Amino acid sequence: MKKTPYSSLADINITNLVDVIMVLLIVFMLTAPFIQAGIKVRLPRAKSTVIKETEGVMLAISEKGEVYLNNEIVPLNRLADALRNLKTAGEERVFVRADKNVPYGVVMEVVGHVKEVGIDEVGMITEMEKKK
């Protein structure tokens, strides 16, 4: 009998698969902070410094007056309960992104719910004013 020079592979080489997955993971980790999907809000302009929105809860108020907590719509009467749940989970900072056409009273009502829960660190997100 003649011996064949070929043999069957019993193992699957997954090194290339792991390399591709690692590259995809790195790409997603680098691009995730730059993606602000969800609610379209036209922010008012201000001459203030920009604060980092990296740590904390994002609270958005659309032009129609809809309130979004971390990109999920929340009825205003249930906002305090939702914030209490986040506070018990360890969140101590809230960033408010309100559309520039939302009445001041609505924004203050939302901030009132945040303060009612006991969260004292509330940041108002604005767009930087363009230099002339």
User: What residues does each domain of the chain span?
Assistant: 39-128
Strand ranges inside 66-116, DSSP E: 67-69, 72-74, 93-98
| Cα–Cα dist 57/82, whole Å | 11
Helix axes 104-117, 79-88, angle to 10 degrees: 40
**Token pair belonging to 113:** 């719910």
For the chain, give the number of residues: 132
Q: If you average pLDDT over residues 58-87, what whole number do you get?
A: 88
Statement: residue 107 has pLDDT above 70: yes
How confident is the model at residue 58, as a pLDDT? 86
CATH number, domain 39-128, options 3.40.630.30, 3.30.590.20, 3.90.470.10, 3.30.420.270: 3.30.420.270
Which comes out higher in pLDDT, residue 115 or 42? 115
Which comes out higher in pLDDT, residue 1 or 103? 103
Q: Would you tell me how many other CB atoms lie within 10 Å of the CB of residue 113?
A: 23
Q: What is the pTM of this model?
A: 0.58
Statement: residue 4 has pLDDT above 60: yes
